[in-house]
Structure 1
């Protein structure tokens, strides 16, 4: 649960949220605030989460919300945009995966980045399509004359993180903002593009953190090309690092912040600056993903900072909400049940 002290701490940080030249380090309190907003995207009304995250004095106003058909099945890509004249900032929030059919479509199109993204590199075709269908809402908001000098946050969980990962560099690429005016923090973000896109992204969006929880399975999708020159130590699980020069598979962008255990207040985390860059083998990429037992990985994907993200958002970010602990069942059948079961617990 979120304590009143924690919420008070959030407000102190948010009150000083205008970007500055020294504001370049991972800020967990900032990330927790943005997780609230990412969770709110799963709700039909983000207002309760906004009211619980910001003070009235900060004047955070819901500027617009959007939901568009993202694929031929009619699954939505959705989100909302918030503006604060007091803080002189705009926050763009994208919603995560909504339905089981959307999850499957993402899976079918994540085998390999194949769609050119404005000369920045190759990206996942489903994510690219979702970006194109939502981009106009972002462009319109950032082009309003009275907001043109406002700094911009971009965030999202799961699919929302992927859409944030395309939105942010496009903002800079199209000249809507300069690099120092953009902050990105995502949660459980899959690999969006290839190595070329990763390099371009890092140049355009230097303030970018991918928060990952333990063995969350989604950040491992789609798979990267493994470095075959690496020999796993005797007795290890056989895991291999991503190839730092291959442009054929998926490759992460931005700096990973990895919480190897739980994510309650005060839990340790790692700032993953090791090699390969953006795919630090000492962080979440170190443990081998066991596709025969990913139930825990699904649970870790849905649970960040002590809350089950979709349900927390639908509940208005109520700090008194409680959530079930990690699963006790394991194996493929449990994974299928957790994703497609009668309770409709979607990734």
Structure 2
């Protein structure tokens, strides 16, 4: 069972500790803790994951759970909020894509950011709708005078990462917390908005990391506008960087942390501070995405830190659980197969 000693040290040093500039650096121990919580959102009961993730002295208490109708089919946007008086911390967790029909709706409505998000820029309509339907739970928790000085973590996997990417800047925009009191770590997060939103987000939430596993397909969706002035070198796969000035397509916010191989303990990773900003062409954007064969991209999306995220959460984050390795064969249009196949497995 993970003990997360570094995480505890961040907050025990002074009960009114805040996220200062010196702390704004990626911490894998902390990320693994939050991956447990993001996985727990796929379960009907987050308690087993909480108990396995935190020590008794951290007293993480489930404050509220929520599940709301997110679209006309009835797919849910869901999550939960936990609070620790010992750490003076609130953690908001959003669940990822629940069903295959929800995955399709996300795809149909996220081809291009088109919905204004409180003057911060344009965001994708499905994510904006999910945000509006879950926001009241976040607002109520953070408005409670009992927790008014508590720092805030926001996290999620997949769709949950997108909802986290909207909730966090609004927390600061609406004055519920100051920028230095909010920290975001997401996993397999798609592009949420356009370049304008990315820049506004980075100003409001400087303490933010998007963890990406190898060739996870979802962080490449929806597509960014490519920089047509770039000439791929001879012998390359033809991949091109995102246009750093176009506001027409999707554009990531926050700093990417890319694991190019597996994500077992001690695996190397890259802190992606290169150009274009937030779309570092030396990280996950470097390989060209083959939409005709995305078997590995789907597998990488579902598997983070050595666990199959939804199954791990449903199993109570039991560290003895075992999972199948990556597929040995790939097939044409495997992403479509993963949606329409016999098993109800969502990206």
Q: Is the shorter-chain TM-score for this pair beyond 0.5, marking a shared fold?
A: yes
In structure 1, the partner of 2:263 is 263
Q: Which residue of 1 aligns with 2:29?
A: 29
Query: For 2:339 and 2:309, how far apart are their aligned partners in 1?
Result: 15
Deviation at 1:108, TM superposition (A): 0.2
Equivalent pair of 2:162/2:192 in contact (CA under 8 Å): yes
Which residue number in structure 1 is paired with residue 327 of structure 2? Answer: 327
Secondary structure in 2 matching 1:83: strand
Tell me the equivalent position of 1:14. Answer: 8
Correspondence for 2:274: 274
- Tell me the SS of whatever aligns to 2:238: coil
8 A Cα contact 2:19 2:182, kept in partner: no
CA RMSD of aligned residues (A): 1.0
Rounded to whole Å, the distance in 2 between the matches of 1:55 and 1:12 is 13
Q: TM-score, normalised by structure 2?
A: 0.97
Distance in 2, matches of 1:338 and 1:319, equals 27
Q: Distance in 1 between matches of 2:184 and 2:19?
A: 15
Task: String of CA shifts for 1:194-223, please: whole Å, max 9, x gaps.
Answer: 000000000000000000000000000000
Moved more, 17-26 or 237-246: 17-26
**Distance 1:333-1:226 versus aligned 2 partners, 3 A rule:** closer
TM-superposed CA distance for 1:55, in Å, is 1.2
Give the aligned partner of residue 47 of structure 2.
Answer: 47
Aligned to 1:135, what secondary structure does the other structure show? Answer: helix
User: Paired residue for 2:283?
Assistant: 283
Task: Return the alpha-carbon distance in structure 1 between the equivalents of residues 195 and 139 of structure 2.
Answer: 26
CA distance in 2, matches of 1:143, 1:56: 26
- 3-state SS in 2 of match to 1:63: strand
Q: How far did residue 333 of structure 1 move?
A: 4.7
1:110: how far off? 1.1
Aligned twin of 1:123: 123
CA distance in 2, matches of 1:87, 1:138: 19
Rounded Cα–Cα distance in structure 2 between residues aligned with 1:341 and 1:60: 39
Aligned partner of 2:138 in structure 1 is 138
d(CA) in 1 for partners of 2:269, 2:259: 4
Instruction: Identify if the C-alpha distance between structure 1 residues 338 and 327 changes in structure 2 by more than 3 Å, giving closer, same or farther.
Output: farther
| Closer, same or farther: CA 129–20 of 1 in aligned 2, 3 Å | closer
1:164 aligns with 2:164: yes
Question: What per-residue deviation string (whole Å, max 9, x for no partner) do you get for residues 292-336 of structure 1?
Answer: 110000000000000000000000000000000001221235433
Alpha carbons 1:11, 1:55 under 8 Å: kept? no
Q: Deviations over 1:34-62 (max 9, x none)?
A: 00000000000000000000111111000
Point out the more displaced range, 326-335 or 122-131: 326-335
What is aligned with 1:60?
60
The CA distance in 2 between the partners of 1:178 and 1:126, in whole Å, is 27
| Separation of aligned partners in 1, 2:309 and 2:64 | 22
Give secondary structure in 1 for the equivalent of 2:153: strand
| Residue number in structure 2 paired with 1:82 | 82
Moved beyond 4 Å, runs of 4+: none
Show the counterpart of 2:14.
Answer: none
Aligned residues: 341
- What is the alpha-carbon distance in structure 1 between the residues aligned to residue 337 and residue 250 of structure 2? 27
Spell out the pairing of 1:242-261 with structure 2 (5 A cutoff). 242-261=242-261
Contact 2:294 2:333 in 1 (8 A): no
Instruction: Specify the alignment match of 1:339 in structure 2.
Output: 339
